[in-house]
Chain A
């Protein structure tokens, strides 16, 4: 397997990856790490309310006199409002962007994205079911998990959709990517239809919950949500680097990758499960935030090329940065009110994407 992978990579390098491009990619990743740290701090420092980060840091570090200097209000603003939003923004952004990149690599289709194969739709259905029918049919579950029922339901919805997708697309141990793509579209439509029925029978209060949940927002970020979704997202992200070489080989086609010694079936299994888990977890805590999964990998591919060894970590970083930034704008642009984040991601991302596309077109041969 290792030898096969090396062979595959050598081919790729001869094909379109130059040393220059690798160095550029490495530089970009370092820059993105620095930028992530910077935007994280900026996000914690800015907001509608005034709060002293210095005082809170002093209190956290147990400095003398800091106990008196820091107010309860500052502590809550920084540690319970801004910090969870920044952490969750980074996790969700990274998860969406990496899921998009993995899906696009797996399906060798630039339009692939968790939303396309129905995973997001399944996760949404799980959450909507819980909002509408939760108090009627799942009362005991509510009392057992309380605040958690929604994330858990969305996660399970995403997982069930993925398993169904697998059952449909796998025949005699072989998973057909084409069947999976088409079945995913069908399952997504089906999930949408069931969601429609639930929306129809929902009462006014539930409808309002659904509307705001559907818009996507990090406004509900808190430490409990991070504890429920964070481990799943981190575990999925941790698996992804091991997929990079396989996805590179897959670019040449499934048969070619198989003959290079890539365990194609296993690669698909791991990729699908990790995408389902992290998408389900992200949708559960932040609602439907679109656009990040499809744009971030594309922009990066135009800049640093298609080598997944660089593309995947860079996608995670840029996705996280983009979402923290979008959230910062969302909560500071119309203070003291706040905009839904989906509006910001589309407004900030789309023109930038077009600009990169037009600039990159000439030397990318698009």
Chain B
């Protein structure tokens, strides 16, 4: 009675096969460092100057910026997160920004692709780049400067830097005014805001630091009630009580799936928070709230007004 793997009676050909199977994924790629691709032949063709006349725009904020620059006539297709302005919805949809189909994108016959950072998957992007379609990544950062950098990147790529500078100036002034208003509020008066991504099965997914929600809450002169972890995490009931949110912030899901306020505050942990006592829930359109595009100044104002009511700031 002993425990042992029973591989002693392997015949030599079986052994050879096993060795082959184990080593193949290491050896085969090593034998062809760049892979046997037909891409190289195509990529060797002449690199022309970027023609930004037929664009595929990936990412809600990128599409909004192109519209704000008045260059929407160049967009031939967009991704499923590009839902503003309304007329963008009429354009062909190449799917979710993180799950692009390379052939689908090529089928729209674009002269260039402009995509927000984080688009993918990487395999699809590799094929698109290899297909010699100029590709521009727009950096993503959840801050004032992040928005301005997006506008400049888009403007430069479209060859309209002057328009982009003008737009960036307007957005900067607008944003600075909105943020200054919010920032003047003393720390002690700031309310604690809990952003809830979803409430499935009674589990509250909340946003920690490094998220778009965290960024917009800070810009609006409030505190993120759950600032002690990164990204989106499910909260325990006790963590929710401990977070003591004054305000619940959620995305406004169109249709009937939005949890009603009564449902939300019947959650045992949430019902014990200050937010439940005041019945304070703010719901905003997801792209508007988290997009970090040209409309963010408006978002900050709306959010600030919703959090603090019509009450004027300490500065005024």
The answer to the question of A219 belonging to the interface, with a C-beta cut-off of 8 Å to chain B, is yes
Contact status A167-B3, CB under 8 Å: yes
Q: How far is the CA of A156 from the CA of B230 in the complex (A)?
A: 31
Q: How far is the CA of A277 from the CA of B267 in the complex (A)?
A: 47
Contact status B1-A81, CB under 8 Å: no
Contact status B24-A228, CB under 8 Å: yes
Q: Which of A80, A235, A266, A334 contacts B37 (CB 8 A)?
A: A80
Residues of B contacting A208 with CB < 8 Å?
98, 118
Of B61-69, B120-128, B220-228, B293-301, which binds chain A? B120-128
Residues of B contacting A269 with CB < 8 Å?
6-7, 9-10, 14
Contact status A77-B7, CB under 8 Å: no
Of B39-47, B157-165, B278-286, which binds chain A? B39-47
Contact status B95-A270, CB under 8 Å: no
Question: Considering only CB atoms and an 8 Å cut-off, how many residues of chain A contact the other chain?
Answer: 63
Contact status B6-A166, CB under 8 Å: yes
Which residue of chain A has the shortest Cβ distance to B77 in the bound complex? A336
Contact status B21-A236, CB under 8 Å: yes
Chain B: minimal CB distance from A106 (Å): 15
**Chain A contact residues, majority secondary structure:** helix
Which residue of chain B has the shortest Cβ distance to A204 in the bound complex? B231
Residues of A contacting B316 with CB < 8 Å?
none
Contacting B at CB under 8 A, from A220-239, are 220-224, 227-229, 231-232, 235-236, 239
Residues of B contacting A331 with CB < 8 Å?
101, 103-104
Contact status B130-A228, CB under 8 Å: no
Question: Considering only CB atoms and an 8 Å cut-off, how many residues of chain B contact the other chain?
Answer: 60
Residues of A contacting B42 with CB < 8 Å?
72-73, 75-76
The answer to the question of A159 belonging to the interface, with a C-beta cut-off of 8 Å to chain B, is yes
The answer to the question of A203 belonging to the interface, with a C-beta cut-off of 8 Å to chain B, is yes
Q: How far is the CA of A222 from the CA of B122 in the complex (A)?
A: 12
Q: How far is the CA of A209 from the CA of B10 in the complex (A)?
A: 39
Contact status A172-B1, CB under 8 Å: yes
Contact status B102-A81, CB under 8 Å: yes
Residues of A contacting B6 with CB < 8 Å?
166, 170, 173, 175, 265, 269
Chain B: minimal CB distance from A196 (Å): 12
Q: How far is the CA of A212 from the CA of B100 in the complex (A)?
A: 11
Q: How far is the CA of A208 from the CA of B5 in the complex (A)?
A: 38
Residues of B contacting A239 with CB < 8 Å?
17
Interface-centre pick from B17, B22, B77, B103 (highest chain A CB count, 10 A):
B103
Contact status A219-B99, CB under 8 Å: yes
Closest 4 CB pairs of A and B: A337-B95, A336-B104, A49-B107, A72-B42
20 further interface pairs, Cβ-Cβ under 8 Å (given A50-B107, A232-B21, A336-B95): A73-B42, A73-B131, A80-B39, A81-B127, A148-B25, A167-B3, A167-B5, A168-B3, A173-B6, A204-B232, A219-B101, A219-B123, A219-B124, A220-B124, A224-B32, A228-B28, A265-B6, A266-B9, A336-B101, A338-B99
- A: residues with CB less than 8 A from B are 47-50, 72-73, 75-77, 79-82, 145, 148, 151-152, 155, 159, 163, 166-168, 170-173, 175, 200, 203-205, 207-209, 212, 219-224, 227-229, 231-232, 235-236, 239, 265-266, 269-270, 273, 277, 281, 331, 334-338
